[in-house]
Structure 1
Amino acid sequence: MDIVFVGAGLANCLIAARIAERRSRVRVLLLEAGESVGGNHSWSYHSSDFGRMQHAFLSPFRAHVWMGHDVHFPAYSRILKGHYGTITSERMSQVMHERLHPSIRLNAKVAHVAADHVVLAGGERIDAGAVIDGRGPVSSRHLDLGFQKFLGQEVQLTRPHGLHRPFIMDARVEQIDGYRFVYVLPLDPQTLLIEDTYYSSGAELPIETLRRRLAAYAGTQGWEIDHVVREEEGVLPIALGGDIGAFLAEAPQGVARVGLRAALFHPTTGYSLPDALELADLVSELPDLSGPAIAAFVRQHAARRWESRGFFRLLNRMLFRAAAPDRRYAILERFYRLPEDLIQRFYGDRLTFKDKARILTGRPPVSVLKALSCLPETKSAIGPR
């Protein structure tokens, strides 16, 4: 086998699909420990994150797209014109099976990875020219993290909800456990995905409590739930600081870690699709697809991306450490008053120097002294709390 992908999540699926499209002679194998490709997730994005060719590649994977999106805060609401889309794991699985069905093995838990082989939990060894590990985030003392955690429910309502655009943030809710907001996607006239989301210092996710809060939120909106179609939950890393070199060096020699496992995500929003697609484009064009070559390239790429994103990590430290937990929403409330093109560049990781100055100038919603204490970047998980 030329390339073995460990985990059939977002990053690995996009890399495998890009390689199959551009390098059809390369033999690939996706090993997924679970029962389905993509697990049970939704990956959303802003259309301004991508160029024309990237949109063309993503089009078969896209499950929904909306012409605009809303944000709601205690002081105001705003309609943003940018298109917003989402990929579902169900759609991801369908497309990957259409394209690579013989190359996908489900219920294949990997117990050991090395540069030239993997060993399954049952003892089977699979040799490979390259191994790419995309099994999601891994804990490390070299990363200083907060968390974006959520419980989502796809719900069927008893009558149409009347929404035409997503709520990507509704912060008109009680502020609990840090910055809390509700995220709503209208999937069809009577179906919604509702997520109760927290920017929190802790990773604990009290599922039953969040279920009650979701039901209460639906009630305040006048939505009567007929039944819950499915649930999804997540605890995503929000980068505050770290030693990226030491973190990346924890990977087995010659094994390429990708996606969240390589800290390839937007430090503030937690969105990972733009990073995953960028890496898929780059890896599929490498002249050398051997294990050492891919691993070295991905490590260098992840380090460059990390180093370029220090401004976002500074903002995160201010959010988590300069603002009182029940006042964190005020930082986002101020941010979403900025021009929409700046907001798009923020999500797309394309901020200019002028953009950064615009974000930081004006009356700060946090203590100046506390904000100044956030300037030095922590290099490990043992940072100021």
Structure 2
Amino acid sequence: MTPATSGARADIAILGGGLAGGLIALALRRADPSMAVVLIEAGETLGGNHRWSWFESDLPQGGAALLAPFRKIHWPAGYDVHFPEHSRRLESTYLSLASADFDAALRRELAQSTIHTGRNVASVDARGATLEGGERIEARCVIDARGFILSDAFEGGWQVFMGRHLRTDAPHDVDRPIVMDAKVRQHDAFRFVYTLPLAADELFVEDTYYQDSPVLDRAALSSRIERYCDAMGWQGEPIGFETGVLPVITGGDLARYQRQVRVPGVTIAGARAMIAHPLTSYTLPFAVETALLVAENRDLPGEQMAALLEAHARRVWQRTGFYRMLGKMLFGAAKPEERYRIFSRFYRLSPGLIERFYAARSTTPDKLRVLTGKPPVPIPHALRALASHRPPLAPPEGTADNG
């Protein structure tokens, strides 16, 4: 841990060393190595315990260069999906980045004085941040990227998952990702298993649920992963795991949320700013886009940077309305055990349409194609879902993880 120094000054102070904050720090370093940047993270490592995956075509211009320092696994031969009605192999290049590699690259690329881990922020204002213990970081521009804040300004459902990193006793012979295996029992939710072959004897197996509540039952999910691995013939020892409970946004009032989280003169970024895919919870392409935007405008005063990213968040909200509508139909128009049919139909569409969907860049013809044809849910149910409201995404404290 690099301790903060009382009275330290920086051009830009970034709060939160997750994906959004870390990429902003890296983009600033690459744009201007002389700029004094401070990256403050409450945990002992940057990026937490996560794995981020994306299609090669998801990245904006300049994105591949920004991600070049990170050790990534990529599968140029594409990926598979499985549903009760059909299976399909798609040839799109798929990539994945582990948080351990994220942390290692940032520590290698950033100036030694930049990273401050194990530091909790007590308060923040337009001129800097005060850490627990009273230490103060002064900055011309403060960027808060400390993660999504649950708010009743939004409504929707939840994406709940548990992932296990497994070292197999023998080569597993899986040569490409299985991005979605929905042949598994649905358990009162849209459930699928996601598998990444990380090495000849390593797999990452994740059990994922689109469900109405944020409850994560660790014991149940762990046993289901074990049964899935047994059924696939994968035997071995777990060497790591991760869990997550992510909001699936189906509607809400961004302006009200921005008023709730706004600190005058402080820039809000990442999931905290609602800059993410509302249906899939994908964040990496959005984090890359934001990091490049900040670096391009790095000399702005704090108040102007805050206004710039608030406007950027509004643009992202506007361009992702289609996916919030689909999320409302997913949760409201189909019985939980029948929700998989929506994705089963979706994965019969063109590979380009599927890639643009995950990157939140669907064209008008894409949207029409998704909505036309034989509907996977009854039309009256879909219309009722669109006219209804989902529960607010502000569950009682303590309900998000019963494990």
TM-score normalized by structure 2?
0.92
Structure 1 residues 115, 177: CA separation in 2 closer, same or farther (over 3 Å shift)?
A: farther
Is the counterpart of residue 232 in structure 1 residue 253 in structure 2? no
CA deviation digits over 1:298-329, x for unaligned, max 9? 11000111012111111000001111000000
1:91-130 alignment, distance < 5 Å: 91-100=101-110, 101-130=112-141
Alignment length, in residue pairs?
Answer: 382
Contact (CA 8 Å) 1:147, 1:236: kept in 2 or not?
yes
Two-structure CA RMSD over aligned residues (Å): 1.6
Q: Aligned partners of 1:284 and 1:145: how far apart in 2?
A: 33
Distance in 1 (CA, whole Å) between partners of 2:152 and 2:278 is 17
Q: Which residue of 1 aligns with 2:371?
A: 360
Work out the CA distance in 1 between the residues paired with 2:187 and 2:390: 28
Q: Summarize the alignment of residues 1-385 of structure 1 with structure 2, pairs less than 5 Å apart.
A: 1-51=10-60, 53-67=62-76, 68-100=78-110, 101-225=112-236, 227-250=237-260, 251-286=262-297, 288-376=299-387, 378=389, 381=392
Q: Are the aligned partners of 1:132 and 1:255 in contact in 2 as well (CA < 8 Å)?
A: yes
Displacement of 1:373 in angstroms is: 2.0
Deviations 1:272-308 (A, max 9, x none): 0000000111111116432211111111000111012
One-letter amino acid of the counterpart of residue 10, structure 1: L
Tell me which amino acid in the other structure corresponds to 2:141.
A
CA distance in 1, matches of 2:388, 2:15: 32
Q: Per the alignment, do residues 52 and 257 of structure 1 end up closer, same or farther by CA in structure 2, a change over 3 Å counting?
A: closer
Take 1:294 and 1:109, find their aligned partners in 2: how far apart are those partners? 23
Once residues 57 and 20 of structure 2 are traced to their aligned partners in structure 1, the CA distance between those partners, rounded to angstroms, is 20
Return 118-127 or 319-328, whichever deviates more: 118-127
Q: In 2, Cα distance between the equivalents of 1:264 and 1:340?
A: 25
Is 1:241–1:377's contact at 8 Å kept on the other side of the alignment?
Answer: no
Q: Give the TM-score taking structure 1 as reference length.
A: 0.96
8 Å Cα contact 1:314/1:374 also seen in 2: no
Contiguous gaps of at least 5 residues in structure 1: none
CA distance in 1, matches of 2:298, 2:63: 21
Distance in 2 between residues matched to 1:233 and 1:97, nearest whole Å:
25
1:85-120 per-position Cα deviation (integer Å, ceiling 9, x unaligned):
011111111111012232101110112121112111
Residues 73, 170 of structure 1: 8 Å contact kept: yes
**Which residue of structure 1 lines up, in the alignment, with residue 6 of structure 2?**
none
CA distance in structure 1 between the aligned counterparts of 2:134 and 2:217, rounded to whole angstroms = 36
Give 1:377 deviation, angstroms: 7.7
- Give the C-alpha shift of residue 52 in structure 1: 5.9
Q: Which runs of 4+ in 1 moved over 4 A?
A: 376-380
- Paired residues of 1:17 and 1:99 also in contact (CA < 8 A): yes
* Distance (Å, rounded) in 2 between the aligned partners of 1:379 and 1:256: 29
CA distance in 2 between counterparts of 1:380 and 1:261 reads 20
Instruction: Tell me how far apart the structure 2 counterparts of residues 380 and 179 of structure 1 sit (CA, whole Å).
Output: 18
Contact 1:29–1:104 at 8 Å: present in 2 too? yes
Q: Cα offset for 1:381?
A: 2.1
Contact between 1:6 and 1:31, CA under 8 Å: does it hold in 2?
yes
SS at match of 1:375: helix
Mapped partners of 1:15, 1:345: distance in 2: 24
8 A contact 2:151–2:393 mirrored in 1: no
Matched AA of 1:354? P
